Amino acid sequence: MHGTAQVHTSYHLIWLADATTETDGERDLAHADLLGSYEDESAVMVWPGIHTGTIEFTWDVHDEEPPMDRAGWDDVAEAVVALPSGELAVRGFSHDEVLLKHLPGRYAVRCWARGRDLEYDGSVLGIAQETFHLDLWIVEQLPRWVAPAPLTRAEQTELMYRESMQMAAAQEEWEQYEEPPNEYAPAEGAEPEHPLLRAVYRLGVERHLPISWWPAGGLWDDEGVIVEPSGGAHAGADGALYWTHEDGPRPVPPGSAEETLAFLEELARG
């Protein structure tokens, strides 16, 4: 059995999955350069080179594993996908196409790729230069898939009721949530204890300057005094001002509140 398909991709995403299976990025995924396989075998992800565009696929279904012949191909990878309905769908970012209808089972997928580096990460109008070929063969036959019966009106009502109750419970939990106190925030209305730094702080507030750098981090006591500075401006044990950052404390040159504010702003920007 042989066929061809043109698949639109976006964000380098193409899925191979059973036509009845929803695909997303939430399941555990084992990454590879060309293929990514879900641990539950519900889907296989193919990573094309282009970011957005249309890619041409060819495919063959075999009765047994075909010989490995790499001639003319850049990359090859294998994975397994479960097809309980026997229908393999190839899915781009916003488009599905059923490639084949065959026996339900677990299928080995051998993916061949050529030219993924020709237009890498590009957006392509028309057909991309890269091409893919899929070899598939069944490794375990599964019982014939039977579509579930549609829900009765009573079952639909019960399902809607359960969902509404879950949403109401989640809303109630959210409304009762209280933000835990921030141990790194100063006490309400607290100002720096150091006279010069307090003057600088008030000057910054008066001018509506962003003062997140005062101090950039650290642990405050109940009086609003920083006791474990991890960043920003603070007073040292010697009474001098320091700017503490990832490269260690740096002395702040003595000066007026205006000069000190300008110096600290420059440090914060740097």
In a domain, 13, yes or no: yes
Within this chain, do residues 252 and 128 fall inside the same structural domain, yes or no?
Answer: no
Q: How confident is the model at residue 142 (pLDDT cuts 50, 70, 90)?
A: low
Domain end (from 112, 141, 170):
141
Q: Are residues 122 and 244 in the same domain?
A: no
Q: Are residues 119 and 211 in the same domain?
A: no
Do 201 and 93 belong to one domain? Answer: no
**Same domain, yes or no, for 103 and 221?**
no
Number of separate helices (H) and strands (E) present in the chain: 3, 15
Give a yes or no: residue 86 inside a domain. yes
* 123 and 28 belong to one structural domain: yes
Residue where a domain stops, chosen among 95, 125, 141: 141
φ/ψ of 138, rounded to 5, equals: -80, 135
Please check whether residue 182 lies inside any domain of the structure: no
Tell me: do 12 and 128 sit in the same domain.
yes
Residue 251 inside a domain? The answer is yes
Tokens 């990460």, residue located: 121
Q: pLDDT tens for residues 28-84?
A: 455 567 888 787 888 888 889 898 888 888 889 898 899 888 888 999 988 898 888
Percent of the chain past pLDDT 90, that is, above it, reads 9
Q: Are residues 117 and 220 in the same domain?
A: no
Confidence at residue 91, expressed as pLDDT on a 0 to 100 scale: 80
CA 2 to chain centre: 36
pTM over 0.75, yes/no: no
Same domain, 20 and 130: yes
39 and 133 inside one domain: yes
The dihedral built from the CA positions of residue 195, 196, 199 and 204, taken in this order, carries a sign that is negative
Domain that holds residue 74: 2-141
Average pLDDT score over the chain: 75
Distance CA 209, CA 197 (A): 15
What's the pLDDT score for residue 34? 85
Confidence of residue 121 (pLDDT cuts 50, 70, 90): confident
Evaluate whether 127 touches 4 at the Cβ level (below 8 Å): no
Is there a domain that residue 212 lies in? yes
Q: How far is CA 29 from CA 32, 35, 39, 79, 215, in A?
A: 9, 10, 6, 12, 42
Same domain, 98 and 203: no
Q: How confident is the model at residue 130 (pLDDT cuts 50, 70, 90)?
A: very high
Query: What tens digit of pLDDT does each residue of 223-252 get?
Result: 444 444 445 666 666 666 666 655 666 777
Regarding whether 128 and 40 lie in a shared domain, the answer is yes
pLDDT > 80? residue 127: yes
User: What's the domain count of the chain?
Assistant: 2
